[in-house]
Structure 1
Amino acid sequence: MTSPTSRRTVLTAAAAAAAAGAGAAASAGPAAAAPGSTPSVRPSAPRAAAPLVDNRFWHTYTDWRWGSGDGTRVLAGVRPGLQIATPAGRTDYTDPHTGKTAAWEYATWTSPVHRSAVPATELITSWNARTPAGTWIAVELSATYADSTATPWFVMGRWASGDGDIRRTSVDGQGDPHSSVWTDTLSVDDAASGVRFASYRIRLTLYRAPGSRLTPTVWRAGAMASDIPDRFTVPASTPVHARELRVPRYSQNVHIGQYPEYDNGGEAWCSPTSSQMIVEYWGRRPTADDLAWVRPGLPDPQVCHAARYTYDHQYGGCGNWPFNAAYAATYRDLNAVVTRLGSLTDLERLVRAGIPVITSQSFLEAELPGAGYGTAGHLMTVVGFTPEGDVIANDPASPDNAAVRRVYPRRAWENIWLRTKRYDASGRVRSGTGGVCYVFWPSGPTPGQRRVLRSLGLL
């Protein structure tokens, strides 16, 4: 089959030198005692490895109150959020994808500075919002380097759940002398230089049609900061939990050639197909009215719907990571973020708690036995683990829905997912995603789900 290529491979791996220094410090043991002597002190325990990922998402009433608002109000209740109160101003926006210029009222909210526990080479934002017709939002990010200089405000997304007012879009061509925005990721250009992001702020701008009383509502916004070392392989983990979740199974390949305006179906739709599986696992799905636009007779019209409403008009595809999370969160009481996990064990803990995870990986056909294809970037859904620890995945790169369930060898799978460097078919070094994944969960998680989400910094 054709290799799925729906996800670009532009992520920059972190510096090996910095990681090696941290690893040496963490693994160095106490000096050996002279023969026949008695050590004067007991050997100290090895220091824990430095964290590689830091998550910070603003979502509580207190979180929103701690930020700085201009024209916004904080919505209290079970699911606190941010809305327009009295607009701070009015501006024109020319949509680059339609050429249409329209006036909009706006209000802003800026987060407090978050100092990351990880001096980071990459930042990826996520947001969860509702944007009724006549409204939309922009999400911006500004980071501060270790030398206290700051980046400009970078646009990480202009987003609406629909596409009647604006075309949701990332913004190309953004950067400064040290870093660049690659669709949905702010990345240090040269990780080996030692440049790192020490802290960051998020700015939300909420827009509405002038003179209306409409408002977007933002329930969650934040970022994942990470510094994943260069690595072609990762240590093998030990299986700890066996469980399989009952997740709907959808094939992207039954949609080949559908909707060229949303990247033509098939191999380009791995991300929205995976997202739709998890949305439906949590008991949510589009209504018949939502699907009325889909041509009659097409299989799984909800997958077409997911592709349309995750489509990034600048990137020209459905693989924008935060746009997929934001799509999932348009459904009732669902939260969704993009993050990295540090190990397959963390993923097992989520599955054991009943939370399936969408993972991003790239590999040659020979590197993942049983796949039958190679890919420069592909999303699949991990739904369980066998008693032997092998990975049970709903892989949308399958000929039909019945073939979606796959069992992949644990060692091969964890390596292709967690590594940051790989070789392509021509022997050239390419990047890997280093454990990137989407995590979706309901607003009322069980106590077990809450514990594991909190332990990963997602609550």
Structure 2
Amino acid sequence: MTSSAPRRTVLAAALAVAAGAAASPLARATGEPAGRPALPVPETAPRRSKSPVDYHAWTTAADWHQGTGHGTRVVSGRRPGIALARPAGTTEYHDPHTGKTATWEYATWTSPVRRLPVPATEAVASWNAHTPAGTWIAVELRGTYSDGGHTPWYVMGRWTAGDGETDIRRTSVDGQKDGRSAVSTDTFALDDPASGLRLAAYQLRLTLYRRPGTTATPTVWRLGAMASDLPDRFEVPASKPGLVGCELHVPRYSQEIHKGQYPQYDSGGEAWCSPTSSEMIIEYWGHRPTRRQLSWVDPSYADPQVCHAARYTYDYQYEGCGNWPFNAAYAATYPDLQGVVTRLSSLTDAERLVHAGIPVITSQSFLKTELDGAGYGTAGHLMTVIGFTPTGDVIANDPASPTDPAVRRVYKRHQFENIWLRTKRHDDKGQVKSGSGGVCYLYFPVNSAPTQHRVLRELGIR
């Protein structure tokens, strides 16, 4: 049927182009050749008041030098990052998912303090990293409250790309709270936003781990967080269609054809909306797992790369494939591809991205009656916005479809915008639940085309 079950107390659950090519694989409603947007993208974005969403990342050599490292070094080159130079110490880690305890060398890097232009109620960290076998990273967030108090260091994820004998199991950490805020899977949130308390600033801390006596090292290329303070709203004002009449050539994959496959990963394909959406966009940018990487998949299964994405986005604590930053991190394991988790404010923002050649993976929850043509309701579901009709309706690749060809859907503009951007909703029992508030994944090349770079920058992504 649909995707994953609810998993947050504050948010609804979310369940042969070169990466650096300047041309975008566009299919245009006008019938003109691919490689340019169907309509011109304005040179500058309209002036806005302070946004309630702040995405900030450390990505350049200058950024990394601004932080404080203990045992780390800045890696230069076309993709600067942080690597383990010499151990700052050793520690033992008991992996709750394998039952094994092992000794690890580690080094740390701590970001400068990020003071938020608009104090926030929620924050989601995301990262891009290379983690060879026998290495892993931990990402932590420490916040400063608007009254001057501090949170503890919250673990936002323990992550590695692999799951071999020398690897830990990638995991979120439950039970983190201080009586004023808490972390639910991948999301930091204040307990009582109505009190007026806010997150005024934060720092991120990386810890890089490796097996003792080796020279292997994780390398982190991007580390960032999206912090936001969105109003409670059941209804979102409709945006006017702007840049419409464009559709991207994005592969179509159904999660439903994988029902019952590899149930150890989130009960099988019926819950694989997030990795299925991720795989579609990874392949849009010209990447996919190799035949060797897919050799573990039953050869009788169609679209084995979807099974692969599910396995390598799986969060062993949450017991699901819908961890937002884990999906972004998985996408970034492919050469020269970046992934971030953020929020957008309207479909106008999504239109600008799509016209620049960047699909948008969106998170939404809705009743069957709230999205005409879907044929289902869901407590949390991911799909991809790949285009807009000439009248402004949304063209989406919806993985909750019975077959691959059926994945392409057209949804009414305001219905889609409302179920994606709202922060409150009613479930089928009439109870008040949370909405994602415009959460999305954005995957894009390191060397984006100038138009893509400009639109991302204008939306706060660099």
1:137 match: secondary structure: strand
Which residue of 2 is the match for residue 411 of structure 1? 414
8 Å Cα contact 1:249/1:394 also seen in 2: yes
Residues 429/191 of structure 1: CA separation in 2 closer, same or farther (3 Å cut): same
8 Å Cα contact 1:355/1:441 also seen in 2: yes
Which residue of 1 is the match for residue 3 of structure 2? 4
1:87 match: secondary structure: coil
Aligned-partner Cα distance in 1 for 2:134–2:381:
34
Aligned-partner Cα distance in 2 for 1:284–1:297:
22
Q: CA deviation at 1:189?
A: 0.7
8 Å Cα contact 1:7/1:319 also seen in 2: no
More deviation in 144-153 or 49-58? Answer: 49-58
Task: Choose the corresponding residue for 2:335, options 327, 332, 341.
Answer: 332
Using CA pairs under 8 Å that are at least 6 residues apart, name the structure with larger relative contact order, 1 or 2: 2
Residues 48/326 of structure 1: CA separation in 2 closer, same or farther (3 Å cut): closer
Aligned-partner Cα distance in 2 for 1:3–1:336:
24
Q: CA deviation at 1:8?
A: 2.4
Task: Choose the corresponding residue for 2:344, options 325, 328, 341.
Answer: 341
Instruction: Give CA deviations for 1:309-335 in whole Å, capped at 9, x if unaligned.
Output: 000000000000000000000000011
Aligned-partner Cα distance in 1 for 2:359–2:57:
20
Which residue of 2 is the match for residue 176 of structure 1? 178
Tell whether 2:92 aligns with 1:92.
Answer: yes
8 Å Cα contact 1:6/1:318 also seen in 2: no
Which residue of 2 is the match for residue 16 of structure 1? none
8 Å Cα contact 1:9/1:376 also seen in 2: no
More deviation in 132-141 or 261-270? Answer: 261-270
Aligned-partner Cα distance in 2 for 1:349–1:267:
31
Which residue of 2 is the match for residue 289 of structure 1? 292
Per the normalisation by structure 1, the TM-score is: 0.91
What amino acid maps onto 2:200 in structure 1?
A: A
Aligned-partner Cα distance in 1 for 2:268–2:257:
8
| Structure showing greater Rg | 1
1:82 match: secondary structure: strand
Tell whether 2:105 aligns with 1:102.
Answer: no
Q: CA deviation at 1:5?
A: 2.8
Which residue of 2 is the match for residue 139 of structure 1? 139
Q: Equivalent residues in 2 for 1:286-325 (5 A)?
A: 286-325=289-328
Which residue of 2 is the match for residue 420 of structure 1? 423
Which residue of 2 is the match for residue 55 of structure 1? 55
Tell whether 2:281 aligns with 1:278.
Answer: yes
Aligned-partner Cα distance in 2 for 1:52–1:209:
42
Q: CA deviation at 1:49?
A: 4.4
Q: CA deviation at 1:117?
A: 1.2
What amino acid maps onto 1:95 in structure 2?
A: D
Q: Equivalent residues in 2 for 1:83-232 (5 A)?
A: 83-164=83-164, 165-232=167-234
Q: CA deviation at 1:376?
A: 0.3
Aligned-partner Cα distance in 2 for 1:6–1:87:
41
Which residue of 1 is the match for residue 390 of structure 2? 387
Instruction: Give CA deviations for 1:231-289 in whole Å, capped at 9, x if unaligned.
Output: 00111111111210000000000000011110122321000000000000000111011
Task: Choose the corresponding residue for 2:361, options 333, 358, 361.
Answer: 358
What amino acid maps onto 2:10 in structure 1?
A: L
8 Å Cα contact 1:339/1:437 also seen in 2: yes
8 Å Cα contact 1:276/1:302 also seen in 2: yes
Instruction: Give CA deviations for 1:357-408 in whole Å, capped at 9, x if unaligned.
Output: 1000000000000000000000000000000000000000000101000000
8 Å Cα contact 1:419/1:435 also seen in 2: yes
8 Å Cα contact 1:9/1:377 also seen in 2: no
Instruction: Give CA deviations for 1:20-76 in whole Å, capped at 9, x if unaligned.
Output: xxxxxxxxxxxxxxxxxxxxxxxxxxx964411001100000000000000000001
8 Å Cα contact 2:81/2:219 also seen in 1: yes
Task: Choose the corresponding residue for 2:436, options 433, 436, 441.
Answer: 433
Aligned-partner Cα distance in 1 for 2:446–2:49:
32
Aligned-partner Cα distance in 2 for 1:184–1:319:
10
Which residue of 2 is the match for residue 237 of structure 1? 239
Task: Choose the corresponding residue for 1:400, options 378, 399, 403.
Answer: 403
1:261 match: secondary structure: coil
8 Å Cα contact 1:253/1:267 also seen in 2: yes
Instruction: Give CA deviations for 1:193-233 in whole Å, capped at 9, x if unaligned.
Output: 11100000000000011000100000000100000100001
Per the normalisation by structure 2, the TM-score is: 0.91
Tell whether 2:253 aligns with 1:254.
Answer: no
Which residue of 1 is the match for residue 458 of structure 2? 455
What amino acid maps onto 1:202 in structure 2?
A: L
Aligned-partner Cα distance in 2 for 1:7–1:452:
32
8 Å Cα contact 1:8/1:376 also seen in 2: no
What amino acid maps onto 2:342 in structure 1?
A: T
Structure 2 spans left out of the alignment, 5+ residues? 13-46
What amino acid maps onto 1:238 in structure 2?
A: K
8 Å Cα contact 2:4/2:322 also seen in 1: no
8 Å Cα contact 2:294/2:305 also seen in 1: yes
8 Å Cα contact 2:50/2:117 also seen in 1: no
Aligned-partner Cα distance in 1 for 2:50–2:298:
52
Aligned-partner Cα distance in 2 for 1:191–1:457:
24
Q: CA deviation at 1:3?
A: 3.9
Q: CA deviation at 1:6?
A: 4.5
Which residue of 2 is the match for residue 445 of structure 1? 448
What amino acid maps onto 2:177 in structure 1?
A: G
Q: CA RMSD in A?
A: 1.1
2:104 match: secondary structure: strand
More deviation in 258-267 or 438-447? Answer: 258-267
What amino acid maps onto 2:276 in structure 1?
A: T
Aligned-partner Cα distance in 2 for 1:95–1:294:
26
